[in-house]
Amino acid sequence: MSDHQIDRTRKILAVVALLLLIGIIAALSFSDRTAKPMAINGDVVGRDSGEPLDDYIARAEVSLEEAPGGENAFALVTFTTALGSADASAVLEDIGRVNAMILLSAAPISLPEPVVGETREDVFDRHLDRLQRSVEGIGEISTPREINSVLVWDDGDALRDLSTDPAVLAVEVLPPDAGWGHFGVRPVFTLADMASGDMESAALG
């Protein structure tokens, strides 16, 4: 077998492994052990099917501009690149509440607020470790250790401040009357990202 064929085979196996991993994470994130699925009541955040990324970012910016300064609302915060727990915690340091994290294109995984003596980094790490333990024994699979997006709850002013961080790609804000557990979430994630070298490396562990 030529080097070209070997390289192509490795890439195909990496993409297949990543698809399998996404399926496992999605199943776990819908489990009652991690998070119950949201009952959609009309509101949805995230990128529409087929929507160009620039169009989504522009749409998210409009929702951010319209968010009331003195009233809290839920928002989908998408990072420019997936962040480790320490970096994500630092970016979100001034946000009042982080409700969930999103890995790859899986469903949101609900998060508690840190207890006394903990940081958000500790909360992220604890749930990432739990996710990894859930797939132990299923071949050589490693779950992601980086976070693509988070769902947060704060007022418009705080969310606008957050959007100025270079690590933040977009902040899409729901109406203040949108209740937790009653809106849909479509992560800002594409198959093109999945085929990239970095994603293949993650799949191969």
- 3 state SS of 1: coil
Q: Tell me the HSE value of 36 on the side-chain side, using a 13 A CA sphere.
A: 5
Give dist(CA 143, CA 129) in Å, integer.
9
Per-residue pLDDT of 21-62, as tens digits, reads 666 555 554 444 334 444 445 789 999 988 999 999 999 999
Give dist(CA 46, CA 158) in Å, integer.
20
What pLDDT does 181 receive?
86
What pLDDT does 196 receive?
45
- What is the pairing mode between strands 72-83 and 168-173? antiparallel
What pLDDT does 200 receive?
36
- 3 state SS of 101: strand
Cα angle: 31, vertex 141, 139; to 5 degrees: 100
pLDDT above 70 as % of the chain? 68
What pLDDT does 130 receive?
87
pLDDT beyond 80 at 135: no
pTM reported for the whole predicted model: 0.74
Measuring CA to CA, which residue among 92, 159, 60, 175 is closest to residue 100? 92
Measuring CA to CA, which residue among 85, 97, 105 is closest to residue 29? 105
Q: Token pair for residue 24?
A: 């496992």
- 3 state SS of 115: coil
Enclosing H/E stretch for 49: none
Cα angle: 168, vertex 41, 34; to 5 degrees: 60
Domain spans in the chain, listed from the N-terminal domain onward: 3-204
Give 198's pLDDT tier (boundaries 50, 70, 90).
very low
Per-residue pLDDT of 80-116, as tens digits, reads 999 999 999 999 999 999 999 999 878 899 999 998 8
Q: In the predicted model, what is the mean pLDDT of the chain?
A: 80
Q: What is the largest distance, in Å, between two alpha-carbon atoms of the chain? A: 64
